[in-house]
Structure 1
Amino acid sequence: MSLKRVSALIAAALVAGAVATPASAAPTVAAWASADPCAMYVGAFDAAGNSGGVEVVATKPPTGKPGSKVKVFPVKESAVWYVSALTGSSWSYGKVISGTGLYAAQISWDGVEPEPEVTSRRLGGGWDRFTQIEESQTGYLQRTRYFYGLRDDGVLFRWNLDGFKALGSYPGFGAVKTMTMISGTGTYDTLLATTRGGALYTIRIPTTSPMKPIVKQVRAQGWGSFDSLVAVKCGRQSTLLTAVDHDTDAAYLYAVGHATGLTTPIQNLGKIPTPFPGVTHHAVAGETDDLFGE
């Protein structure tokens, strides 16, 4: 599937969610059943170094359509990838960990050559100890954006993406297994994370310094089998969430209402009927997509 199609799909999903949701109220999970289905593209990197993914539509049960694969290079972890398209050309780009390095990678189609061009730029070393990476997705051209990395000793780090300036760290996240961004505002970012014990939490990180995350439990158990979480916005204040089990290459789709701790509404839409092979999965988003899941 072309990146133009991916970009159009995401745009259509957000429009559909906005039309279905009254401006004066946060959407409930029940509203999803009557709204046009939202959709997401879940990117993936497999053990052979291929980039690919699955187009997921929030029907019940959900539907999934595999995209084409592109040979890139071995990737250990990936943050969100962005897509852009012009007439006759398109490209996607994101940050990945490969070996000991963090890279800014790009896959470009010029509309002429049969194969895309893959390029990368090394941003720094010492990243082999990081188990998770993610970045702000809101207002790509409008606000300060932050990059987050979770090290294997449980320390969560933050950088300003403008010049990659270090902005502090916070310990105590050694139990986190996987995480994804669900909110990005001018005053905070929010990560949704699972623990190895199976719990589900939100981690709100105010943009103020020093870095002081605010943690709330969303569910006490039931999420321990998932190795990747991938989220996109659907509606004004809700989240479409794909949760992937790397041991079985299976994924499940969830409609998640605006996060309010243990009262957060979550609806399991079912197993996605498409295998999800890969060593890491990530969201594919438009350049100006914003998230407001908490």
Structure 2
Amino acid sequence: MTLKRTLAVAACAGLLGSLATASVSTAATTAACTMTVGSVTSGGDVGYSDVTASSPVTAKQGTGVHLFSPGIAKISSTWIRGRTGEPDGPITSGEVLLNDTIYNAWYGPDPDGPVGMSRAGTGFGTYTVTERASYLSSGPHLATYRLRGDGVLYRYAHRWDGNPTSTVTRYTGFAAVKTMALTSETKAYDTFLANTRGGALYTIRFPRTGAPVVKKVRTSTWQTFEHLVAEKCGSQSTLLTAIDKDTGSAYLYAVSHANGTSTVIKGLGKIPGSYNDPVYYLRTTDTTPPLFGE
């Protein structure tokens, strides 16, 4: 997520705790990884939960700037906090669906300071996922993924090396997906971790060219989660927050580098606090290394 994420039209919010390493390949956390789970409250405020994979799991929750009218936020991409470059301090930005229109939105470090939005497109009222993946090294890459409720997924891909190009690819067959979280951003592919309404858990790899590669990770029990939020943990692993909005509960998992059903998933426990907001997403920084969970 280095400078690459600033190419993503700003992108996302600050990982307020430092990211430490963890060894989930042995199903044992050796140091406490952290992540910030961002949210939009029903009142349109920015919310957050700073989650630490300690034993027991800890979390600090709070709310920040008021951005949106109550009740209109539907889904969101990752939000990224930039380092510098703005006169009033670092800008945090991401993509959000308000009713049926997608906006690029941003806010500064001052809760009472300036905020802004620019319209990116309309007609997205039935979409259930929007996310951005970016990778700067060895040729800049930026892709926006948007999943429609009928299982059609669109990838909008952009490159700037030498001859700038933009392409749109349409994929079908994802109607069973309930939600998904970005877990890998590499030169050759992006990967999502997705749960289905039937309870299965899959990785879905989108190579730069060719068909998606889908691998089953688990066969059942994951259907209760409406939101999955993933952050890098160590060099190749993932810290995963899974949110059950029906009960207002969230659970933390350490996930090894994904390898189908051989993937190690260690339950770290229930995250303290209530998780009833309508929208959840990852908040991170543009200095956090690229996701590499698969």
Q: TM-score range by the shorter chain?
A: 0.7 to 0.9
Does 2:132 align with 1:135? yes
Equivalent residue number for residue 107 of structure 1: 107
The one of 147, 156, 175 aligned to 1:150? 147
Q: What whole-Å deviation, never above 9, does each CA across 1:44-75 have from its counterpart, x for those lacking one?
A: 01222111110000012211100323211131
Give the share of equivalent positions with the same residue, in percent: 41
1:96 aligns with 2:93: no
Contact 1:29 1:266 in 2 (8 A): no
Paired with 2:47 and 2:32, the residues of 1 have a C-alpha distance of: 23
Q: Which residue, out of 52, 59, 63, partners 1:64? A: 59
Once residues 100 and 271 of structure 2 are traced to their aligned partners in structure 1, the CA distance between those partners, rounded to angstroms, is: 33
Deviation at 1:233, TM superposition (A): 0.4
Which residue identity does 1:151 align to in structure 2? Answer: R
Do the aligned partners of 1:140 and 1:287 also contact (CA within 8 Å) in 2? Answer: no
Distance 2:188 2:67 in 1: 36
Q: What whole-Å deviation, never above 9, does each CA across 1:230-252 have from its counterpart, x for those lacking one?
A: 00001010000000011121100
Conserved 8 A contact 1:240-1:254: yes
- How big is the shift at 1:88? 6.7
Distance 1:101 1:165, change over 3 A: farther
Distance 1:140 1:161, change over 3 A: farther
Is contact 1:241–1:253 with CA below 8 Å preserved after alignment? yes
2:134, 2:140 within 8 Å by CA — same for their partners in 1?
no
- Residues 158-191 of structure 1, C-alpha deviations (whole Å, 9 max, x = no match): 0025699442111000000000100010000000
The code of the aligned residue for 1:167 comes to: V
Distance 1:30 1:9, change over 3 A: same
TM-score normalised per structure 1 = 0.86
Give the secondary structure class of the aligned counterpart of 2:215. Answer: strand
Q: Hey, what does 1:77 align to over in structure 2?
A: 75
More helix by percentage: 1
Q: Secondary structure at the match of 2:235?
A: coil
1:257 maps onto 2:256 in alignment: yes
TM-score by length of 2: 0.86
Structure 1 95/84 Cα, relative in aligned 2: closer, same or farther at 3 Å? same
CA distance in 2, matches of 1:28, 1:187: 23
Aligned partners of 1:164, 1:150: CA distance in 2, in Å?
A: 22
CA drift of 1:292 comes to: 0.6
Q: Offset at 1:128?
A: 0.8
Shift of 1:276: 1.6
- Corresponding position of 2:37: 42
User: Residue by residue, what CA displacement relative to the aligned partner does 1:126-150 show, whole Å, maximum 9, x if unpaired?
Assistant: 1112111111154499621111000
Helix, strand or coil at the partner of 1:96: strand
* Number of residues of Structure 1 aligned to a counterpart in Structure 2: 272
Q: Tell me which residue corresponds to 2:6.
A: none
Separation (CA, whole Å) in 2 of partners of 1:183 and 1:265: 16
CA distance in 2, matches of 1:278, 1:79: 15
In the other structure, the counterpart of 1:176 is 177
Residue type at the aligned position of 1:57: T
Query: Which sections of structure 1, spanning at least 5 residues, go unmatched?
Result: 1-5, 22-26
